[in-house]
Amino acid sequence: MTVPSTNMKQEVPGGGLRDLFYVLFKHQAKILVIFFGTIATVAVGSFLIAPVYEATASLLVKIGREYITKSEVGEARNLMMVNQEDIINSEIAILNNRDLIEKVITTMGVGTIYPQLASDPPARMTPLEAAAIQFSKDLTVDGVKKSSVISVSFQHRNPVVATKALALLIDLFKEKHLEVFSNPQSSFLEKQLANYQQRLKESENALEAFKQQNQVYAVEEQRSLLLRQQVELDTGLQATHNRVEELQKKVASYREQLRGMAQNKARYTQTARDAIVVNAQNHLLSLQLKEQELLAKDYREDSRFVDNVRKEILLVKAFLRAQEEDISRKVQTGNPVYQEIEKELFKAEAELASQRAGAVTLAQQFAQLNRKIQAVDQKQNELRNLQRELSTHEKNYQTYAEKLEEARISDDLNHQKIANISVIQAPATTQKPVKPKKLLILILAILLGAVSGLGYAFLVEFTSQSFSTPEQVERRLGLPVLASIALKR
């Protein structure tokens, strides 16, 4: 029984499977029409869509010289400044570079890759710009996780064009990679190397000229020898001063004794004084022989040693003259004690004069030796500066020579297009198109058709202004249904 209701809106059939199946059987024709219509429409549309093929390739990124940072100056040390993930991301960025894509399109031609864009480009855009944007959309570059591999794919309606475009992109990518990481500096390094080579040669000439001019070859050994001589002279000079002080005291003591004994003229004797004079004469003869010996040993006339001997000779001669004059004036004495003391006094005075002369000589030698040591120190400082300058220029020359060789090797590798990029899989296009995926589209069409048909049936039932079952009448009106008659058309 169907009871029309014009004032009340029907609610969604609720509750049980009976109402659900009632709606399905009631609107089964409409559901089937929508279901099969949707499937047919989508299937026909999928067959009308032009197929799209995909060319794929794989690249291996190795850690090469491009990512090795080398020190510009000082000690050459190679440092790895980036990690593997940064390297992969950098290479992906180069592959997606707009200039690289435009170069591929320009090489192959816009009409070859995208003929529709060549004939009818979008407004306010050149065909090349539009083709570059579309190429970027069709290009996919991804890094394979936990590896050094980059996967590259390019989709196009023509499989041959897709393969050629991807192959050209990879070739241009290698050139772009070398261009980005190359650092042409051979000409600069050659100039610097020639400059430091000239400086090195000048330093070597300056050092050799200094050695020849100053006769400096083993400065450390010369300085050590002079220092040893200085120590020996200083020791001898101190000993001489001590001996002079000792003789001065001895002479003063002898003179004091002689003054006490000189009051008794009977004590004077001729023999003792003659012995002193003889000793002095012997000493004079010894000095003269020493002078001749020094001259015989090739000592020069103005030599210090010859000059010292001659000074002693003059002192002894003066002493002999004084003694001869004194003997003629004094009364001869025969006191052997007096004569012995006087003899010792003469010996002490002669030795004192000799020691004083020796002290003067040693002092002069010591001063002269100090001047020599200062001169050697000055020469040593100049020599060290020249050697330091030579070492610096030599080190700089070696550094630039090594860097020039490295730059030449790098340039040769770049010219031969040797990079850290290897092609694992050459560009190849699958035989079957990747778009459209007809099976997936068909499955989606079935789902869409089922959902659309069921949705339409329930929508129609929800918006209906009539009751279809006795239960709807009882729920809506709150009155029991006593009887119902099935409707037959």
Query: What is the Cβ-side half-sphere exposure of residue 137, based on CA atoms within 13 angstroms?
Result: 8
d(CA 70, CA 387): 29
pLDDT, tens only, 399-412: 877 776 666 655 55
Of 340-349, 407-416, 438-447, the range with the highest mean pLDDT is: 340-349
Using pLDDT thresholds of 50, 70 and 90, give the confidence band for residue 371.
Answer: confident
- Would you place residue 11 in the very low, low, confident or very high pLDDT band (cuts 50, 70, 90)? very low
Check pLDDT > 80 for residue 132: yes
Higher pLDDT, 257 or 11: 257
What is the percent of the chain where pLDDT is above 90?
A: 1
Confidence of residue 7 (pLDDT cuts 50, 70, 90): very low
What's the pLDDT at 174?
Answer: 80
> According to the model, what pLDDT value does residue 16 have?
60
28-48 vs 438-463: helix crossing angle, rounded to 10:
150
Q: Under a CB-based contact definition with an 8 Å cutoff, are residues 391 and 199 in contact?
A: no
Q: Which residue has the higher pLDDT, 231 or 386?
A: 231
**pLDDT score of 473:** 67
Q: What pLDDT, in 10s, does the model give residues 280-329?
A: 777 778 878 877 877 777 777 777 777 887 888 888 888 877 776 665 44
Average of per-residue pLDDT across 360-375: 85
Query: Taking residues 330-359, what's their average pLDDT?
Result: 76
CB 37 within 8 A of CB 449: yes
Average pLDDT over residues 137-149: 87
Select the highest-mean-pLDDT range: 135-144, 311-320, 448-457.
Answer: 135-144
Please give the C-alpha separations between residue 202 and each of 191, 205, 393, in angstroms, as whole numbers: 17, 5, 10
- Work out the number of other CB atoms within 10 angstroms of the CB of residue 136: 12
Instruction: Provide the sign of the torsion angle of the four alpha carbons 401, 406, 407, 412, taken in this order.
Output: positive
Give tens-digit pLDDT for 202-223: 888 887 887 777 766 666 777 7
List, in order of start, the domains of the chain with CATH numbers.
Answer: 17-49+436-477 (no CATH), 53-181 (3.30.1890), 219-403 (no CATH)
Q: What is the mean pLDDT of the chain?
A: 75
**Confidence check: pLDDT of 74 > 60:** no
pLDDT of 264 above 60: no
Long-range contacts of 154-160 (CB under 8 A, 24+ apart): 154/54, 154/55, 154/427, 155/52, 155/53, 155/54, 155/55, 155/434, 155/435, 156/52, 156/53, 156/55, 156/113, 157/50, 157/51, 157/52, 157/53, 158/53, 159/53, 159/55, 159/429, 159/430, 160/429
User: Exposed, middle or buried by CB within 10 Å (0-12, 13-18, 19+), for 258?
Assistant: middle
pLDDT of residue 147: 83
pLDDT at 415 over 50: yes
In the predicted model, what is the mean pLDDT of residues 77-91? 68
| Highest-confidence segment of 16-20, 237-241, 270-274 | 237-241
